[in-house]
Every structure is written in structure tokens, then in C-alpha cells.
Structure 1
Amino acid sequence: MAEILNKCPICGGRLEYSVLMQFTKDYQIKLNGKLAKNSRNSDVSPMECGFISCITCDFHTNCDLECEENHNIKIYQEDGVYMYEDER
């Protein structure tokens, strides 16, 4: 039976969703040909990838929301809500 994924399905701890971001670190090239010490970040954008992890135990998914450990838990989104089914 599907349940809302609002806590860790293993230990009941809090969950985090981590969005992987990418950006460039831009340095100016000085007149002497060396890079300046100061830089700026630009093009901050998501890589459209994220994973779920528990802050208490070692439960986590990969970016396809597949469980990394040998847990038979299926995670998916339904109308923007994270759901899971324990297929044990």
C-alpha cells in the first residue's frame, strides 16, 4: 500500500531532498597572465538531479530515487507528493 514519504521508511527519522547544482567559477586573467585571486560564481542552475537521504540513519536514494541499499522500497512522485511502497 502506498504511503506519503514524510519520514524515513527505515527508522522514522527526518528526510532531506538534496538538489545537485552546477555553476562556473569565473576568474579574470590579469595583465601578467595569472589568474586573479577573486572569483565569482555564474550560471547557477540545477542539474535536474536530486536524492533523498535520512538525517538519522544511512537510508538514501540515487538521483533516480532508487534505494541504494538492499531495501525493497519504491519511491515515486504523484501530483508533486513523494510516495513510497515497501515491497518486502
Structure 2
Amino acid sequence: MANARADAYCELALWGIGFSRSPSGLRHWWADEAVRRELYDLSQEQIDTLIEACRKRIADLGEIEEDAPEEPVKKKSKSKTRRRAAI
């Protein structure tokens, strides 16, 4: 019998993995989620699926970080900012 809670957890986790912004953040999330993976009784196949998704996302993030142009440094303006009336 399929474990609906484990299936729902995996679906949500796969969705969230796609939104990860940094490899270190994703690794931190993986470590923090160990208790929940056990609590929801994920199968080894489900765990392997999540591991593969994390590895792929980390690889994608590595490419994104290398290809992303650096943002130019903004210079501070020497002129004073005008204060507007409080009314």
C-alpha cells in the first residue's frame, strides 16, 4: 500500500528543491529534513529520487553562479538627499 504522506512530502520537496538558490542552502535543508523524511517513512526509492533532484539542482546552481555576470558596484552619491515635508 502506498504511503500518501510520503508521496505528498516527496512532491512538495521536489517542488521546493527547484526553488533553491544556493548549494549550501540546499545542503542545509537536506540535513534539517532528515527527521521529517524518517517521520513520513519515505521509501529508499523516494529518498534516492530526492537525492538525485538535489544533485541536479546543485549542478544547475553551479552553472548559474559561474555564468551570472557580476553586478556593478553602486557609487554613493555625494549630494544630500532632500527631505520631504511630513504632511
Q: TM-score, normalized by length of structure 2? A: 0.23
Larger RCO of the pair (alpha carbons < 8 Å, separation 6+): 2
Structure (1/2) with the larger helix percentage: 2
Q: TM-score, normalized by length of structure 1? A: 0.23
Structure (1/2) with the larger strand percentage: 1
Which structure has the greater CA radius of gyration? 2
